[in-house]
C-alpha cells in the first residue's frame, strides 16, 4: 500500500538512483567508491550518466538525475552544491621529455611547449576545469600558447605519452600513468591550481534513503582515496558508459 511504499523509500537498501557526473571524475578511486556502494546496497539500482559540468546541473535540475558530481558550484537558486574536495591539477609530460627529470621549473621553461587540452566550446558556461589551463598560462606569462584540441581525456593522455605536448590534468585521472611511469609530473609551483568538485542536488527534491546513503559515500570518497593511493612524482597544487568527457 501507499504507507509501505513510503517506508520503502526511506530504506537505504532499495530504490533507483541516477548519478550524473563529469566523465573526467571517473577515476579508479571514484569507480572503487561506486563499487563499494553497490556491494553494500545490492538492491539499489545505480544508473550513471556522464556530461559536462553545466549539463550535469541541467540533468539534476530537470529531474533526469538524482545527484550530480561536477566541477565548481551551481549558482542556480533551485540547486544545492556540497563541496566534496579540491582536485589538484598537475602538468604532465612524457618520461623522455627534456624537462622530465628537473626538480624544479620556472614557467619560462615552458615558453615553447605545445599543450594538449579540451577544445573551447562557444557560448559554454564557465567551467573551471577546461579554463584552468588558459588561466594558468595567462598568469604565468605564457599566453598565447599552441593548443592542440583533443576532446577526450584518454586521448589527451595518449598524445602526451607520444610526445605531442604537455597537459594540465586532474591528478586523480593520471594516477595509473604516474604509477606505470608512462607520464611524469613536472614540478612547476606557478602552475599549481585546484578545482572544486561539488555534489549537487535540487533543494526541494525528495532524497530517498538510498540517495542519502550514496551522498554519504561520495562525500567520504576523497578520504578513502587519500588513504589508499600513493602518487609517485606528483605535485600538489540501465547504465550509460563512463566515457572520457569533461
% of the chain beyond a pLDDT of 70:
82
Higher pLDDT among residues 129 and 117, named by residue: 117
Helices 28-40 & 209-228, crossing angle to 10 degrees?
140
Is the confidence at residue 158, as pLDDT, over 70?
yes
* pLDDT band, residue 64 (cuts 50/70/90): very high
pLDDT of residue 56: 95
Q: Is the pLDDT of residue 235 over 50?
A: no
Place of cell 587519500: 226
Residues 100 and 184 sit within 8 Å (Cβ to Cβ): yes
Among 96, 137, 94, 97, which Cα is nearest to 117's?
137
Distance between CA 212 and CA 223 in Å, rounded? 18
Amino acid at each position: 500500500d501507499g504507507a509501505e511504499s513510503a517506508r520503502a523509500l526511506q530504506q537505504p537498501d532499495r530504490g533507483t538512483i541516477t548519478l550524473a557526473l563529469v566523465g573526467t571524475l571517473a577515476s579508479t578511486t571514484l569507480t572503487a567508491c561506486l563499487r563499494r556502494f553497490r556491494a553494500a546496497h545490492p538492491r539499489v539500482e545505480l544508473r550513471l550518466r556522464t556530461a559536462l559540468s553545466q549539463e550535469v546541473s541541467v540533468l539534476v535540475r530537470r529531474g533526469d538525475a538524482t545527484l550530480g558530481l561536477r566541477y565548481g558550484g551551481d549558482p542556480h537558486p533551485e540547486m544545492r552544491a556540497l563541496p566534496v574536495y579540491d582536485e589538484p591539477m598537475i602538468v604532465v609530460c612524457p618520461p623522455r621529455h627534456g624537462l622530465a627529470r628537473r626538480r624544479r621549473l620556472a614557467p619560462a621553461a615552458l615558453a615553447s611547449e605545445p599543450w594538449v587540452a579540451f577544445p573551447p566550446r562557444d557560448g559554454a558556461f564557465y567551467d573551471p576545469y577546461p579554463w584552468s589551463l588558459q588561466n594558468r598560462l595567462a598568469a604565468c606569462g605564457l599566453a598565447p600558447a599552441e593548443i592542440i584540441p583533443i576532446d577526450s581525456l584518454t586521448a589527451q593522455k595518449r598524445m602526451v605519452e607520444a610526445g605531442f605536448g604537455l597537459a594540465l590534468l586532474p591528478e586523480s585521472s593520471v594516477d595509473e600513468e604516474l604509477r606505470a611511469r608512462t607520464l611524469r609530473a613536472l614540478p612547476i609551483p606557478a602552475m599549481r591550481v585546484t578545482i572544486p568538485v561539488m555534489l549537487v542536488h535540487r533543494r526541494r527534491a525528495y532524497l530517498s534513503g538510498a540517495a542519502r546513503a550514496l551522498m554519504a559515500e561520495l562525500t567520504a570518497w576523497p578520504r578513502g582515496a587519500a588513504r589508499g593511493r600513493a602518487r609517485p612524482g606528483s605535485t600538489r597544487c540501465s547504465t550509460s558508459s563512463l566515457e572520457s568527457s569533461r
